[in-house]
Structure formats: structure tokens, C-alpha cells
Amino acid sequence: MNLTTLNKKYNTQFKCLTYLEQLRWGKGRKRKVTCALCGSDRITKRKGTIKYHCNKCNSDFSVLYGTIFQDTRAGIRKLNCLKVNRC
């Protein structure tokens, strides 16, 4: 996939994050969000944010936790472009 195609397909942060969630946790019926810290599947989605809450270890995390995107301040769309150029 080239940069132009990537920018058209994932033109919003929501689309980028959804794609990363599908890569990490699957999609549809097979989707299973697990805690990035303890591995539990007792998870609640935080409304209005990109975060999830683990009801077992009482921590918050996002799909970005444990990835190269975790501590960056750049927008996820820009980072996705960099990732594709690197591959």
C-alpha cells in the first residue's frame, strides 16, 4: 500500500485507531479486547475516549499501549504514514 492510498483509506484518527484495534484484537465476533497489563478479558470501553478499563487490575489502557505509538504526541495518522514508509 502506498502513501496516497493509505491517506485516503485512513483519513481520520478514528479510522486509524479502528484499524489498529482490528490488528491487535481481531474484528467482528472474534474480537477479544484484553488488558495490555494483566491479560484479563474483563474490559469496559471508556466513553468518549480511546481508552479501555480493566475491571480486574483497575487500570486504563489504549490500543497504542505497548506499541511504537505509545508515548508519541504526533497524530496517529502521521505515524501510520511513517510506519508504511519504513516497511
Instruction: Name the domain count of the chain.
Output: 1
CB 34 within 8 A of CB 41: yes
Q: Is the dihedral of CA 78, 69, 39, 42 positive or negative?
A: negative
- Look up the pTM and report it: 0.71
- pLDDT digit string (tens) for 38-84? 999 999 999 988 899 999 999 999 988 888 778 877 666 555 544 54
What pLDDT does 82 receive? 45
Cα–Cα dist 7/85, whole Å? 12
Nearest to 45 by CA among 27, 66, 60, 29: 60
Boundaries of domain holding 61? 3-86
| Three cell numbers written together for 11 | 483519513
Q: How many CA atoms lie within 13 A of 71 on its CB side?
A: 1
